[in-house]
Amino acid sequence: MQRRLAIDIAERALIFLANRPGDIQNFLTASGLDPDALQARSTDEVILAAALGHLAADESLARTFSEDEGLKPGQLLAAFATLDPHGSTAW
């Protein structure tokens, strides 16, 4: 997957989470970020990869996001692998 497409999907993932109060709170808790830090780093590829990883870890959430965004099967994971090829994003 091209890096630009992976970043686009990750940005949409972060917006998706931000529009779901419970899910963004879970992401903030898991990442150790507070809302201000998340906003300041929202374009950081590490944060974007973490958002994709957070979605991918929850099958129901991943499915909802993928369906809402019209992603093809596997695109979410492909985007995550592009931004974090070694699986190093760990919160």
Residue 17 lies in a domain: yes
Domains in the chain, number: 1
Task: Please indicate, yes or no, if residue 89 is contained in any of the structural domains.
Answer: no
Q: What is the pLDDT of residue 85?
A: 82
Residue 27 located in a structural domain: yes
Nearest C-alpha neighbor of 69 from the set 19, 1, 3, 2: 19
**Is 1 in contact with 79 (CB distance < 8 Å)?**
yes
21 in a structural domain: yes
Task: Identify whether 88 is part of a domain.
Answer: no
DSSP symbols for 31-79: HT--HHHHHHTTT-HHHHHHHHHHHHTSHHHHHHHHHHHTPPTTHHHHH
Q: Would the pTM of this model clear 0.85, i.e. be above it?
A: yes
Question: According to the model, what pLDDT value does residue 90 have?
Answer: 52
Instruction: Output the tens digit of pLDDT for each of the chain's 91 residues.
Output: 999 999 999 999 999 999 999 999 999 999 899 999 999 999 999 999 999 999 999 999 999 999 999 999 899 999 999 998 877 655 4
Domain span including residue 32: 3-82
